[in-house]
Structure 1
Amino acid sequence: MGKQMTEMLKGTLEGIVLAILAVGAAHGAEITARLRERGFTDIAEGTVYALLVRIEQKGLVDVEKVPSEKGPPRKVYSLSAQGRDYLDEFWTSWNFLTNQLTDLKTDAHERGH
């Protein structure tokens, strides 16, 4: 993944993880696996865990400790009501940005650039 993609992901990874949790509750390793299944192969598990701490502190997720067969209980994350609102706002912003970028690309293409 190039530097430009890494920088773009910094601003959107929260929304991407919340979108993954909107599909279903998961623990950190499952979230990382789901990201990788979707092509986000360069995102480190540590990055995901740091992000989970931040979104938990913001109240965007509910956390349930579930017993683990190996080691301490696992934290399972699910979208909170506040997280759903945040995700709705994320998609609104995302749609605006993608529409504007598509228009800019079309304009540049039509001008031969």
Structure 2
Amino acid sequence: MYDKTQLMRGSLEGCILKIIEKQTTYGYEILMGMKDVGWMDVSEGTLYPILLRLEKQHYIKAEKKASPLGPKRKYYQITEAGKVYLDEFYEHWQKLEQVMQSLFDDKKAM
């Protein structure tokens, strides 16, 4: 059976950055946004280490803000470096998509 873990791992950073680019947001909201678009296998144990890594790489910045429902939340915002990284990620993703489409297109002979 195919193990999708590696493929997911390579795509998560770009997807997380795209969600954060749309609006300043916090971890749980990022998880829900990912589930809304079909990422069902992402857990908090996967998300938070990625957020920490993106923050250390200066692709996002975090700020604690008051929450209407309890303790302060850590809100994430994309940085200019993060926008550059996201653009590069998407450019490479489009190239990969074209290659995969070409390989799996039944109409093309090899």
> Would you call these one fold, judging by a TM-score over 0.5?
yes
- Stretches of structure 2 that go unaligned for 5 or more consecutive residues are none
What amino acid sits opposite 2:45 in the alignment?
Answer: G
Distance of aligned partners of 1:112 and 1:100 in 2 relative to their CA distance in 1, 3 Å threshold: closer
Alignment correspondent of 1:70: 70
**Corresponding residue number in structure 1 for 2:17:** 18
Instruction: Please tell me the root mean square deviation across aligned C-alpha atoms, in Å.
Output: 1.8
Query: What is the TM-score of this pair, normalised by structure 2?
Result: 0.90
- Give me the identity figure in percent: 31
Q: Which amino acid aligns with 2:93?
A: W
Q: Aligned-pair distance for 1:104?
A: 1.3
2-side partners of 1:23 and 1:4: how far apart?
A: 30
Following the alignment from structure 2 to structure 1, what is the Cα–Cα distance between the partners of residues 90 and 27?
23
- Counterpart CA distance in 2 for 1:64 and 1:111 is 51
2:107 maps to which of 96, 107, 110: 110
- 1:61 is displaced (CA, Å) by 0.3
Distance 1:18 1:11 in 2: 13
In structure 1, runs of 5+ residues without a counterpart are none
